[in-house]
Every structure is written in structure tokens, then in C-alpha cells.
Amino acid sequence: MNDFTYYNPTKIEFGKGKEKNIGKYIKDSGYESVLLVYGTGSIKKSSLYDDTIASLKEAGLKYEELSGIVSNPLISKVRDGIKIAKDNKLQAVLGVGGGSVADSVKAIAAGAKYDGDVWDFFIQKAVIKEALPVFTVMTLAATASEMNGNAVITNELTQQKFSIGTVLVNPVLSVINPELMATVSKDYLAYSAVDAIAHTIEVYFTATEHPKFNSRLVEAIIKTIMETTEILIKDPNDYEARGDFAWAATQALNGLTTSGTHGGNFPNHMIEHTLSALYNVPHGAGLSIVIPAWMKWYKEQNTAQFERFAKEIFGLSTADEGINELESWFSKIGSPVTLDQAGISKDDIDKMAENAVQTSKLWGLEENYNEQTIKDILHKA
Ligand code: NZQ
Ligand code: ZN
């Protein structure tokens, strides 16, 4: 077990109807005004938008709104949100939606306390020193953005999808009500399952030190996600399965699975963000394309852990069997596993590698993942 500091300042309010208290939660945290941020319409199809407004009003909060956050969220919208927050001197930001909304509010929170352009943080030209307090009500479980300090945003002009990560934008409080997630489409349910699994296996396979507890925790998360995804495909309203799925997805990237590990990194995410940046592929769909290819390319570097994965997850014995079974499962739930299935031509591999290597450099992975390596991996996809 490696030494570590574990600090996660996010309070989780989990359960039915908790979103109706969001105004009170914000008010009780000491704020009088808030920027409400949401996506392209799902919260208005349900009663969630009305419930949120009612809750803000009931708590006596002043609020402004920013709507239209898209999946693979854009820096232009973040800049709009920063302007509204600054112009109205708002004290907090609230995202109601999926990971794209949560990530956007985090970027807005940081940008609202900065005089320069918010993209500076993403290209590591500036460091986040302060941020407005962030609150979220999650309508989709996948990213764990509700309980971490990460945000991933696309700059549509430069076609770069880059990230920030700081505890300063960890939500103060997040509401997770599994009932709100029952309307997520089957496609996004599949992509979410892939994403949650991806968050755990990146470090599981790449760490040079991975304590047994962490391996077991990862395996529990993966099994839970796989089991509940299959239940939810058949019955989207199964509350128990939604709850298990959501809480497992939160644990997958809130710092717990990696505490005590050493040397792990996120190469699949590094490459996937390029697929989203260039082709607007949903994040989970991009991951199900990259992961099997990367596993085939990487497996000899950590055979023991790949064999463990095959045994613990699928009751199989070899690394190859485990990889093939995972790839088949991604296919079975409806997530693409080749570039071709996502409509991406292999003629674009050079262009993708050129784009991905930028993230590789920002994440300090260049030594193992240069343009050539990334091309080799993508050719397997
Ligand atoms: O725009 P709306 O109407 O909200 O529709 C969304 C969107 O079209 C819809 N949706 C969300 N909740 C729904 C719903 N539809 C019906 N009923 C509901 N209850 O689902 C679509 C996808 O939403 P999105 O927020 O994009 O999905 P997700 O939560 O998977 O977020 C993906 C983004 O998060 C980033 C990804 O790169 C991607 O940009 N990530 C963030 C991470 C983090 N902050 O730690 C880590 C991840 O690795 C990931 O990179
Ligand atoms: Zn992810």
C-alpha cells in the first residue's frame, strides 16, 4: 500500500425526492444567489425543471439560468455562464443534468473567479486558485463528476477536448436520486456502463502497485455495473438496480479506487477524448472502441492482472479470454467496439494520433504514448 492523502469534500444526498431540497441545501451552505445550468431539454420533459425552480424560490434564492449544455460540452457555453455569473455577482453554481452539465458548472465556477480566459486552465497556462461553490443534481450516472474535481470541456475552435482537475471545484453537495435516471436512453445507459467500468480499469491495469483491497473494490464495481446494466436494459424503472448502478459509478472515480495505488494512468481516456473532440462520439462509446484495442496492445505489460481480471469478472483463465469477453459484453449492450462501427475511417488514424498526443503531453504520458504508439493502438480498433 502506497502512502496517500484521501480528501473528498463533497457531501452526497442520495435518495428519492432529495432534489426538491436543493434550494435549502444551497441556502443552508450560506449562499443567497445561484446560476442554474442545464442541458438541452430532458429536465423540462420531466417535472425536474419546475421542481428545481420551486425549490430555489422557496429558499428565497436569487437565480439566473443557462441552458443548452450539450453532451461533449463546449467552452463557448462555459464562457456564457461565466459572463452571467460575473455580471450578476452570483455566489454559487448549480448544475442539473449529466456529467456534461456538471463539468460545465465546474469550469464556470473556476472561470468566474479568474480575470483571464477560462481555457487557460485547460492548456495549463494558468492554475485554478479559487472557484465559486458548485452544487449538482445528477440525472445520469456515469462520470462521477458529482463527487470529483474533474471537468472535461471541448474547445470547438481548436478541436481540443481537455480537462481540469482540482478539489476546488469538487461539488459542495450533490444530489443522487436514482429515480431521476430512469429516463436515460438505452444508448446512454450502455455508454455510462462502459464509462464507469473504464474509470476503474485504467489504474487497475496500469498501476505498478495495486493493493488487493483496490483490486477487489474495482471488481465489485465492475460486477455491479454489469449486473445492473442488464437489469436496467430490461426494466429502466428498477429502483434497486438504478441505485446500485449510480452509487457504483460514483465510487468508480471519486478517488477511492486509486488511493494507495502507484504509477497508474488513464491512457484510454487520453485517446478517447480525441474521438469525442473530432467526431463528437459519446464518451462511453469512444471508450468501448479504444479499450479492447488498448488491452490487446498492452496485455503483456501486466499479464498477472489481466489474468486476474479474466478470472474474477468472467470466471475465465487467460488474459485474451477476459479481453474478448469484455469486448463482447460492450457489443451486447449496444456500445461500438470498432472505429468502423462509429463511422470513423482508418484513414484518419494519423490525424487522431496527432490530436491525442496533445493530451498525452498535458497528462505527462508522452514517454509511453507518443504519436506512433497511439497509431499502433488505434490500428487495433
Ligand atoms: O441535454 P440533456 O437534455 O440533459 O440530455 C442528456 C444528453 O443528451 C441526456 N440525459 C441526461 N440525463 C437524462 C438524459 N436524458 C433523459 N433522462 C435523463 N435523466 O443524456 C445525454 C448525455 O448526457 P451527458 O451529460 O453528456 O452524459 P455523461 O454524464 O455521460 O457525461 C459525459 C461527459 O462527461 C465527461 C465526458 O468526457 C463527457 O464530456 N467526463 C467527465 C468526467 C469527470 N468529470 O470526472 C470523467 C469522465 O471520464 C468523462 O470524461
Ligand atoms: Zn470516463
Q: What percent of the chain has pLDDT over 90?
A: 100
Nearest ligand to the C-alpha atom of residue 187 = 1
Q: Residue written as cell 464518451?
A: 283
Q: What's the pLDDT at 75?
A: 98
Q: What's the pLDDT at 139?
A: 98
Q: Establish whether residue 142 lines the binding site of ligand 1, counting it when its CB lies within 6 angstroms of any ligand atom.
A: yes
Which of 43, 74, 152 is the best mutation target for the ligand 1 pocket, counting ligand atoms within 8 Å of the beta carbon and taking the most?
152
- 283-298 vs 371-379: helix axis angle to the nearest 10? 100
List pLDDT tens digits, range 36-64.
999 999 999 999 999 999 999 999 999 99
Closest ligand 1 atom to Cα of 148: 45
Q: Establish whether residue 291 lines the binding site of ligand 1, counting it when its CB lies within 6 angstroms of any ligand atom.
A: no
Nearest CA to ligand 1 atom 29: 99
Q: What percent of the chain has pLDDT over 70?
A: 100
Q: Establish whether residue 269 lines the binding site of ligand 1, counting it when its CB lies within 6 angstroms of any ligand atom.
A: yes
Per-residue cell: 120: 487557460
- Provide the pLDDT confidence category of residue 303 given band limits of 50, 70 and 90: very high
> Which residues, 6 or more positions from 69, have their beta carbon under 8 angstroms from its beta carbon?
37, 38, 39, 40, 77, 97, 100, 101, 104
Q: Establish whether residue 75 lines the binding site of ligand 1, counting it when its CB lies within 6 angstroms of any ligand atom.
A: no
d(CA 37, CA 145): 15
* Domains defined for the chain, CATH in brackets: 11-180 (3.40.50.1970), 185-379 (1.20.1090.10)
What does the pLDDT average to over 293-304? 98
What does the pLDDT average to over 63-80? 98
- Provide the pLDDT confidence category of residue 34 given band limits of 50, 70 and 90: very high
Nearest CA to ligand 1 atom 44: 145
Closest ligand 1 atom to Cα of 140: 12
Q: What's the pLDDT at 190?
A: 98
Per-residue cell: 183: 429516463
Return the bridge partners of 381, or none.
none
What does the pLDDT average to over 78-87? 98
- Compute, in angstroms, the gap from residue 32 CA to the centroid of ligand 2: 33
Output the pTM of the full model: 0.98
Closest ligand 1 atom to Cα of 181: 19
Nearest to 94 by CA among 40, 184, 24: 24
List pLDDT tens digits, range 309-342.
999 999 999 999 999 999 999 999 999 999 999 9
- Compute, in angstroms, the gap from residue 269 CA to the centroid of ligand 2: 6
SS (H, E, C) the chain: CCCCCCCCCCEEEECCCHHHHHHHHHHHCCCCEEEEEECCCHHHHCCHHHHHHHHHHHCCCEEEEECCCCCCCEHHHHHHHHHHHHHCCCCEEEEEECHHHHHHHHHHHHHCCCCCCCHHHHCCCCCCCCCCCEEEEECCCCCCHHHCCEEEEEECCCCEEEEEECHHHCCCEEEECHHHHCCCCHHHHHHHHHHHHHHHHHHHHHCCECCHHHHHHHHHHHHHHHHHHHHHHHCCCCHHHHHHHHHHHHHHCCCCCCCCCECCCCHHHHHHHHHHHHHCCCHHHHHHHHHHHHHHHHHHHHHHHHHHHHHHHHCCCCHHHHHHHHHHHHHHHCCCCCCHHHCCCHHHHHHHHHHHHHHHHHCCCCCCCCHHHHHHHHHCC
Do the beta carbons of residue 378 and residue 293 sit within 8 Å? yes
Nearest CA to ligand 1 atom 14: 184
Rounded to the nearest 10°, the torsion over CA 163, 291, 232, 98 is 10
Q: Establish whether residue 41 lines the binding site of ligand 1, counting it when its CB lies within 6 angstroms of any ligand atom.
A: yes
Q: What's the pLDDT at 325?
A: 98
Per-residue cell: 153: 470541456
What does the pLDDT average to over 281-294? 98
- Compute, in angstroms, the gap from residue 280 CA to the centroid of ligand 2: 14
- Provide the pLDDT confidence category of residue 148 given band limits of 50, 70 and 90: very high
d(CA 287, CA 232): 21
- End-to-end alpha carbon distance in the chain: 35
Q: Establish whether residue 140 lines the binding site of ligand 1, counting it when its CB lies within 6 angstroms of any ligand atom.
A: yes
- Compute, in angstroms, the gap from residue 301 CA to the centroid of ligand 1: 33
d(CA 288, CA 302): 20
- Compute, in angstroms, the gap from residue 102 CA to the centroid of ligand 1: 8
What does the pLDDT average to over 72-93? 98
Nearest ligand to the C-alpha atom of residue 191 = 1
Angle at 185 between CA 180 and CA 189, to 5 degrees: 85
List pLDDT tens digits, range 218-268.
999 999 999 999 999 999 999 999 999 999 999 999 999 999 999 999 999
- Residue 262 sits at φ, ψ, to 5 deg, of -140, 135
Per-residue burial over 207-235, b = 16 or more CB atoms within 10 Å of its CB, e = otherwise: beebeeebbebbbebbebbbebbeebbee
Q: What's the pLDDT at 180?
A: 98
- Provide the pLDDT confidence category of residue 168 given band limits of 50, 70 and 90: very high
